[in-house]
């Protein structure tokens, strides 16, 4: 029997990368899936490919999140799996970080993620699973990631508090911290292709398993945490990174 039969799952940022692969995996395990994203064409295309419901909602807008919740409530009632995945990566060195850059990245990766749970809470079933997409950058001092890393560290901190506060409703809250994963997120940074290739090669050499993760690697973990197989797991973080965080100086 599929392990998510009868469950309703919402995946934010589900039109691309890790969210897309996770929506596919959750569906293959029997869940009814809703994906969201900020671009209507992309959301529509992905929803059609995946055979799931697509709803446009920019998580930088609280009103848009409230509207999303209303739409999901109207069509599906209550939610069992909330994958808080939407995020961006913008690199900049300390000393050149503008307020706009700070607000935009924090606004999506932390404030947007925070208020996604806040607003979905009334329509989450008791026993639901919330999965926050963090990053191993929450723990590393990688150059040019000051805002990004802080946004993910803040989200992982929130995971622990939320896990404690929502435990009386048996709602589990966990974080997934990927290392480098092959997704379009890097090409959206505005870096030149040559620069991106150099960056990817340098990173790959530092990963003990000598490869980038694939979105499907992360999707399997998300699907496990969403399921009743993980019913005793809450407030935890899972690094899924080919070992880079334990061996950053491997040559
Ligand atoms: N790839 C990695 O190496 C890596 C490592 C660690 C953590 N992560 C995290 O993994 C998550 C997914 O990233 P990914 O690598 O799969 O990148 P991706 O392919 O760019 O996917 C990100 C998704 O989030 C959506 N999104 C961005 N801003 C949004 C907003 N304001 N409102 C709604 N949706 C928004 C994107 O929409 P558009 O398609 O319109 O941009 C896209 O659907 C992010 O939280 C990222 O920080 C990624």
Please name every residue paired with 130 in a beta bridge, in sequence order, or none if there are none. 82, 173
**Any ligand 1 atom below 6 A from CB of 187:** no
The mean pLDDT value for 11-30 works out to 98
35, 86, 186: residue to mutate for ligand 1 pocket, most atoms within 8 A of CB:
86
pLDDT, tens digit, 9 for 90 and up, residues 179-210 = 999 999 988 988 888 888 888 888 898 899 99
**Any ligand 1 atom below 6 A from CB of 183:** yes
Ligand 1 atom with the smallest distance to the CA of 180 is: 3
> What pLDDT, on the 0 to 100 scale, is given for residue 231?
98
Distance 176 CA to ligand 1 centre (A): 14
Reference 109, options 64, 61, 60; nearest CA is 60
Residues 14 and 237: beta-carbon distance below 8 Å: no
Comparing 247 with 160, the larger pLDDT belongs to: 160
- Measured between alpha carbons, how far is 227 from 136 in angstroms, rounded to an integer? 23
Residues 181 and 218: beta-carbon distance below 8 Å: yes
11, 12, 14, 17: residue to mutate for ligand 1 pocket, most atoms within 8 A of CB:
17
Q: Where are the domains of the chain?
A: 8-240
Q: Whose CA is nearest to atom 20 of ligand 1?
A: 185
Q: Is 16 exposed, middle or buried (0-12, 13-18, 19+ CB in 10 A)?
A: buried
What is the pTM for the complete model shown?
Answer: 0.97
**Architecture of the structural domain at 8-240:** 3-Layer(aba) Sandwich (3.40)
* Residues belonging to the chain: 251
Comparing 205 with 135, the larger pLDDT belongs to: 135
């Amino acid at each position: 029997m599929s392990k998510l039969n009868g469950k309703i799952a919402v995946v934010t940022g589900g039109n691309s990368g890790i969210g897309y692969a996770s929506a596919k995996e959750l569906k293959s395990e029997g869940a009814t899936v809703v994906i969201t994203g900020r671009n209507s064409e992309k959301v529509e295309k992905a929803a059609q490919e995946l055979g799931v419901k697509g709803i446009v909602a920019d998580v930088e807008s609280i009103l848009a999140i409230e509207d999303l919740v209303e739409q999901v409530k109207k069509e599906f009632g209550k939610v069992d799996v909330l994958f808080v995945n939407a995020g961006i990566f913008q690199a900049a060195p300390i000393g050149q970080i503008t307020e706009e850059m700070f607000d935009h990245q924090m606004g999506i990766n932390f404030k947007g993620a925070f208020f996604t749970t806040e607003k979905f809470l009334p329509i989450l079933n008791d026993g639901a699973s919330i999965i926050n997409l963090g990053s191993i950058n929450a723990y590393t001092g990688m150059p040019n990631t000051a805002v990004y890393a802080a946004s993910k560290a803040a989200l992982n901190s929130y995971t622990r508090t939320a896990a404690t506060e929502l435990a009386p409703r048996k709602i589990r809250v966990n974080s997934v911290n990927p290392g480098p994963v092959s997704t379009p997120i890097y090409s959206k940074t505005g870096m030149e292709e040559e620069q991106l290739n150099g960056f990817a090669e340098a990173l790959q050499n530092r990963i003990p398993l000598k490869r980038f993760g694939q979105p499907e690697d992360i999707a399997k973990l998300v699907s496990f945490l969403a399921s009743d197989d993980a019913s005793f797991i809450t407030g935890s973080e899972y690094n899924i990174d080919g070992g880079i965080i334990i061996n950053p100086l491997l040559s």
